[in-house]
A and B are shown apart, each in its own frame.
Chain A
Amino acid sequence: MEDYDIVLGARGDRRLMATDYIQRMIPDFMEFHGDRLYGDDRAVIAGIGTIGGLPVTVIGIEKGKTTAERIRRNFGSAHPEGYRKALRLMKQAAKFRRPVLCIVDTAGAFCGVDAEEHGQGRAIADNLWEMADLPTPILSLIIGEGGSGGALALCHSDRIWMLEDAYFSVVSPESCANILWKSTEKAAEAAKSLGLTAEKLHRAGLVDRICHGDERKKLAAEIAAELTRLRAVPQADLLEARYRRFRSVGC
């Protein structure tokens, strides 16, 4: 399969969405709303529950399945309010020493006048800033699209796992081709050059684990086991390892 086919597949509307994973893995999930500053962003689902018996705070980006649902979820593109809701609940998780699970599926942070004027850049920057020092384990699971800064805002984590057919990229292949070669027809070439597949990112050491389709049933148990292991790590060591993880990228 070509890399660009993986990108197109990751956008497919018949895939399992964040809510599906939450339903299957966290049956007692309770959703909490609002950023306590301005509003409630429906593109981001957040709350608490247990995964394999372990209490967790869950943050998911949801695209929606039906047209009405997709519109309500803004097609999975979060506003600053969504990132701030995520951050509010991540800080709460740290207070109760509860691990955080982020389920990422977004083409990118929303680009619009309101999003800009409410501080989209600042909201993402704040998440990176706080997650860098959040004293509780964080595991991010990319289930479909990992679109640029909007996905990264939920991936400053101890572990980044990706489904084998997901992608994570600095830019969409279409925009990349358009900016560099003034032609969206070269998107496939851009996709191949960007190194955005789970396999390539895992090989580069940027992603910790690839989750294969036939393991999906065991996923909850494995996430719970990994978060339990991370919870046993002394806080200072956990944060130092998180620092080193990103410190080593690129040079």
Chain B
Amino acid sequence: MASEATNVNSQSEAFETWIKDQPLKPPCAGACPVNADIQSFVSLVAQGRFKESLEAVRERCTLPGSLGRICHHPCEGECRRNDVEGAVNIRAIKRFASDVCADEPVSDAVPKTRGKKVAIIGGGVAGLTAAYDLAKDGFDVTIYEQNDACGGAIYTGVPKYRLPKDVVAQDVAAIESLGVTIKTNTAIGRDVAFDDLAKDYDAVLIAIGLTVSRGIPIPGHDADGVLLALPVLKEANFNDNAAIGKRVVVIGGGNVAFDVARSAKRMGAEEVSLCCLECEDEIPAFSWELVEAREEGIIINPSWGPREIRVEDGKVSAISFKRCSRVFDEKGMFNPAYDENEILGIEADNVVFAIGQGADMNGFTGTSLEVDERGRIKWDALTLKTNLPNVFASGEVVTGPGSAVAAMRNAHHAATAIERFLTTGTAGAVVVPEPLAIGRLPRHTIDAIVRKEKNHVPMVDPAERVKSFMEAEGGFDIDMAIYEAGRCMNCGRGAEIIAEKCAACLTCVRVCPFGAPYISESRVADFNWDSCQSCGICAAECPGMAIHVGFNDDTLINERIDAATSGITAFGCQLGKPEIYNPLSKATSTPPGLNFVKLMCASRLDMRHILRAIENGVDGVAVMACPDDKCRYRKDVNWAEVRANRVKRLLDEIGIGGERVEFMGSFATPEEAQQAIGAFKAKLAELGPNPLNKVMVK
């Protein structure tokens, strides 16, 4: 008997079609620059289906372990749970999915069915992402990377305490496993000529990022001890004995500056100051970087502009700053103004410029690739094309600095552009419609939602973490991850009316805990998706069977019911744990002879579902529902129990016997579940086979 625990989401064709036609998407996915299907991967973790979750992440977020650590997670900012008690910790869930599957075998190579070759210059975030998409599409992809490994800025720049290098390697390996050829230590311009590449390949993607740190030519800038951000970070990342002076001043207020300052601390600096033009509120680095840097003892000096580096014996001894009175002018343009009367002097052994990066275009000078007067690649943001017919560019080299996930988004577009070019022979604009997000939770719905406090990831104590480059942030354990994933409210995949079947009876309006259904002007029920939580209570009560629940559609549920014609079929909440979790295989399995049909909530259970299972020939039906304090849906009625009791009465009348249906509540541990199922089995054995069957299958 097939008793695989099946997903409650995007696994059926009917569902896929349905969801595609839905105009409204959850706001998390809309805020995610790569529009990751957050709801699905979160929901899969909630069900203990980690491998599938990871695959769902990777589909759009191609470097799950890395981005699970360093993504600035704009999704969480838009999560509708913010209005309840805090966003779902989406990033940590993604990291969990990646970490828990670290030892899983990588995927099989995708057959190269397209007969076309693509070269990608630069194995950073953008290059890897485009490689993933194109390889999945069946192209023969080769990445040329000048470093000894791929990853780009997240490999060489992002410090190890935020992103261990083996995590980057794990992400890269997964992409390589699709059949992507990776040529490391191969620089275009030095080892391979660009023009040759453009000739040898059907298409080329330039994704060389911004690899050169800039300085400011203030007096003393060329003294010994004046450093640039990226080389310092590289040293910190790859030299286990990396050292720096006792007193370090970092110039800059972006994330790179904070990475440098915090790395300097870990390289042994005793006094680290970070000085930037911007005032405290304008500091461009992420807010949490400021908090964590201060915890680590870094002194942040906002509103100071570098003036002069004092040099003694050719070596830096101090640096002075002038007060910066404003960074942007009235027009919002970068145009700092200073007050030269206010000066700050700091003694220093090292000064590090962390004020920005530029592209290294050396490998392309004198080639057929055209650049503008400022040396930037001539590039069309819509078609992602350069001046050459088969050469495209993507990532920060063309978009300018931003986040990793933004580079990823651009690379998905580049892959689309290349795919289209290689398919049709012409390049075209890549237009990606922004998904329309459903609205915020109405007050009455917020009031009805069960509070579930957000799980935060553990952080190593500041005093401890500055001692080394050990990873500062921890991950979720299995229980934390499942709990946190269970906080997602499945926004926008809820109830939908089949208008011609609705009798406007008001049942849905009356049973919904969240105030989502209403009788519309056209005098049939309609559902406010801002409120609907996809629990399915209404659908199982509607007398006209006029309600379709996206995440929990009847066709899908029936398919799962039909998987069993003997033994026990159990119905329960997707978050319940009747299955046995096996930490070694990182997979879940259900006890033999048990067909577990997962529902969004046990309240989705329809009397018809139970009868269908019985009619299929199973000997018994177990109904499992979380206790009220565990249920994520506020309900005044335990609907699963009510419906189980109704079916019991009906089965008595039918002559099959109500004892074949058992309401079991839920279980704290898989062992408990097994025990209860064992007892039920014994009872069923006594009852003998389902009278609809002749032979009882043990």
A and B held together in a complex: no
Q: State the B residues within 8 Å of A (CB).
A: none
